[in-house]
Structure 1
Amino acid sequence: MNKSELIDQIAKQADVSKAAAGRALDATITAVKGAMKKGEMVTLVGFGTFYVGKRAARNGRNPRTGATIKIKAAKIPKFRAGKALKDSVN
């Protein structure tokens, strides 16, 4: 399912226009991004939790030359599925 198909489903389920559903989805994504940028967790009960994880600095290998390179530490977005989401998939 892509973004436009998701907007169609939201519009149908919530009985709103596709434009309103698109704005609502964009606002939701923006709010989640903003909270994660501040380092906050976003928990949607029954769906899951979005949070920021940390990846430590490490040594890697350049596949072309075989030379060892240093990879910087990074913050990465993560998602942990909630119980209701896990149960609905199984």
Structure 2
Amino acid sequence: MSVNRTELVAAVAERSSLTKSQADAALSALQEVLVDSLSKGEPVKVTGLLSVERVERAARTGRNPRTGEEIQIPAGYGVKISAGSALKKAVAK
């Protein structure tokens, strides 16, 4: 089972004494900061929780799974998310 945005907003609101609309605004602001920072190539680190950074992918040769034909995959960027110590401890239980 996963937590969707509505459930996340409700949980944040309950634990932080914010209204649901305030919690939703905070979540939206976090999303905007992540997107803006990563688009500029700046990593985002929340100590103990996670770090997110943009990584460069080199151009490479791949295969079309239907035809087996070789294709050239251009260089680009991806996102790397690393769990912090608190997150690692939570899932190790």
TM-score clears 0.5:
yes
* 1:65 CA drift (Å): 1.8
| CA RMSD across the alignment | 0.8
- Corresponding position of 1:70: 72
Amino acid at match of 1:77: V
Q: Following the alignment from structure 1 to structure 2, what is the Cα–Cα distance between the partners of residues 50 and 39?
A: 10
Among 6, 9, 14, the alignment partner of 1:7 is: 9
Following superposition, the deviation at residue 20 of structure 1 comes to 0.8
**Which residue of structure 1 aligns with residue 41 of structure 2?**
39
**Offset, 1:23:** 0.6
Q: Which runs of 5+ in 1 are unaligned?
A: none
Q: Is the deviation greater in 32-41 or in 59-68?
A: 59-68
TM-score where L is the length of structure 2: 0.92
**How far has the Cα of 1:8 moved from its partner?**
0.5
Describe the superposition over 1:22-81 as per-residue Cα deviations: whole angstroms up to 9, x where unpaired. Answer: 011000111011001100010101101010111111101112222110001110011011
Unaligned runs of 5+ in 2: none
2: CA distance, partners of 1:6 / 1:80:
20
Q: Give 2:60's aligned residue.
A: 58
TM-score (norm 1): 0.95
Runs of 4+ deviating beyond 4 Å: none
* Distance in structure 2 (CA, Å) of the matches to 1:70 and 1:89: 38
Match of 2:22? 20
Q: Does 1:84 align with 2:86?
A: yes
Q: What is the number of residues matched between the two proteins?
A: 90
**Alignment identity in percent?**
39
Please give the alpha-carbon distance, in whole angstroms, between the structure 2 residues aligned to 1:39 and 1:47.
20
